[in-house]
């Protein structure tokens, strides 16, 4: 899809003074509606879509609760070179962050939740949509364990080089068969945080071959500066196309490599990233958890691109501390890792 219709504009946008580049009004719908709008801004000019059938999820023994908790608490062997790579490139992909068994169990849990929420089977039951659920760590003890994992939290704190880290939110993301591209963007545009000490752990719940549309990163902590003069357009795909053209003309290196099972990526809020269409018959399911340095404040003027941000920092005010019961300190772990609320 290359253009958003007038009816869709009315569905997604409110306010008499809405213009193509003004995003200063608040988002007034839920986060699924936000994703429905946001993926409409991606440039998809790839013609007829033929879906490839992939083998089913491998039959791998899943860890029991105690084994899973132990794995999610065990430190990951992050190196100084890993930290340096992240600091230079604004992203890193790390293998074996999860075991195959923990990955398969995560997929089973996420499929169960998505199937119940959207009242349909995945892996072909829903077509051409980007499904989203969030804040599930507050109600589900197994998802809570993955979201508050000390193993993952310490990786994030070490990559950012900060001593204390809070959770912004979890996000279950399922790119359904035939769903188009995710537009080029960086998360500084999305999170209403007056800080650059923000990182997202993007945890695939299966291996992601190229045909499924893995997350792809434009290398370079300063690459976003190439885009600073480009106005965001909330009605059509022009922003996505312009960013792609600038990166091509500037020779920006893009990492679009597949993800092995258990591999996790970590991207800074200044990292520009995208993802291709899911050209398979399987849902591409991911748990994305975003964290920020303790002490960060909310922007003075959050915008519609931040979505329903008060759901994630309830009670916070523009300019105030980004701190609530929904934003626990995850590193160092303070209490109750893996315990249900």
287: domain range? 28-44+62-326
Q: Decide if 159 is inside a domain.
A: yes
Tokens of 320: 């105030």
Token pair 């077509």 in the structure block, residue:
127
What pLDDT was estimated at residue 340? 40
Question: What pLDDT, on the 0 to 100 scale, is given for residue 235?
Answer: 87
Please give the tally of structural domains in the chain: 1
The answer to whether residue 18 is domain-embedded is no
Q: Give the whole-angstrom CA distance, residue 59 versus residue 61.
A: 7
54 occurs within a structural domain: no
Neighbouring-strand partners of residue 119 = none
Assess if residue 73 is contained within a domain. Answer: yes
Nearest to 29 by CA among 21, 41, 38: 38
User: With 0-12 CB in 10 A as exposed, 13-18 as middle and 19+ as buried, what is 151?
Assistant: middle
Residue 141 contacts residue 338 (beta carbons within 8 Å): yes
**pLDDT(96) > 60:** yes
Residue 49 forms part of a structural domain: no
Predicted pLDDT at 6:
36
List pLDDT tens digits, range 165-222: 999 999 999 999 999 999 999 998 788 999 999 999 999 999 999 999 999 999 999 9
Mean pLDDT comparison of 5-14, 114-123, 145-154, highest-scoring range: 145-154
217: domain CATH number is 2.60.120.620
143 cis-preceded (ω within 30 degrees of 0): no
User: Closest by alpha carbon to 290, among 214, 198, 204, 152?
Assistant: 198
Helix or strand run (H / E) with residue 302: none
Provide the pLDDT for residue 25.
61
* Residue 174, pLDDT score: 97
Q: How far apart are CA 125 and CA 209, in angstroms?
A: 21
Asked whether residue 56 is assigned to any structural domain, the reply reads no
pLDDT tens-place string over residues 303-316: 756 767 889 999 99
What pLDDT shows up at residue 22? 47
Q: How far apart are CA 297 and CA 321, in angstroms?
A: 4
41-64 burial: b if 16+ Cβ within 10 Å, else e: bbbbeeeeeebeeeeebeeeebbe
């Amino acid at each position: 899809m290359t253009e958003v219709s007038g009816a869709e504009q009315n569905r997604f946008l409110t306010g008499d003074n809405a213009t193509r580049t003004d995003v200063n009004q608040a988002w007034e719908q839920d986060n699924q509606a936000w994703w429905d709008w946001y993926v409409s801004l991606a440039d998809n000019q790839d013609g007829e879509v033929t879906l490839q059938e992939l083998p089913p999820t491998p039959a791998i023994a899943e860890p029991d609760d105690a084994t899973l908790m132990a794995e999610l608490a065990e430190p990951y062997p992050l190196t100084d070179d890993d930290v340096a790579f992240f600091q230079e490139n604004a992203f890193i992909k790390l293998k074996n962050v999860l075991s195959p068994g923990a990955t398969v169990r995560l997929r089973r849990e996420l499929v169960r939740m998505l199937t119940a929420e959207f009242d349909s089977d995945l892996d072909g039951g829903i077509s051409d949509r980007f499904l989203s659920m969030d804040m599930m760590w507050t109600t589900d003890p197994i998802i809570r364990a993955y979201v508050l994992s000390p193993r993952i939290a310490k990786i994030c704190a070490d990559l950012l080089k900060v001593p204390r880290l809070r959770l912004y939110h979890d996000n279950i993301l399922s790119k359904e068969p035939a769903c188009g591209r995710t537009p080029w963007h960086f998360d500084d545009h999305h999170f209403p945080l007056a800080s650059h000490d923000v990182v997202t752990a993007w945890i695939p719940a299966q291996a992601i071959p190229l045909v499924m549309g893995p997350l792809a990163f434009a290398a370079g902590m300063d690459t976003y500066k190439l885009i600073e003069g480009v106005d965001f357009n909330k009605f059509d795909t022009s922003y996505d196309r312009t960013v792609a053209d600038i990166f091509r003309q500037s020779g920006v290196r893009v990492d679009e490599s597949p993800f092995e099972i258990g591999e996790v990526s970590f991207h800074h809020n200044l990292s520009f990233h995208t993802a291709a269409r899911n050209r398979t018959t399987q849902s591409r399911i991911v748990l994305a958890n975003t964290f920020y340095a303790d002490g960060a404040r909310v922007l003075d003027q959050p915008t519609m691109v931040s979505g329903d941000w008060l759901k994630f920092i309830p009670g916070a005010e523009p300019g105030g501390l980004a701190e609530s019961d929904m934003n626990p300190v995850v590193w160092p772990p303070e209490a109750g890792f893996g315990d249900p609320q």
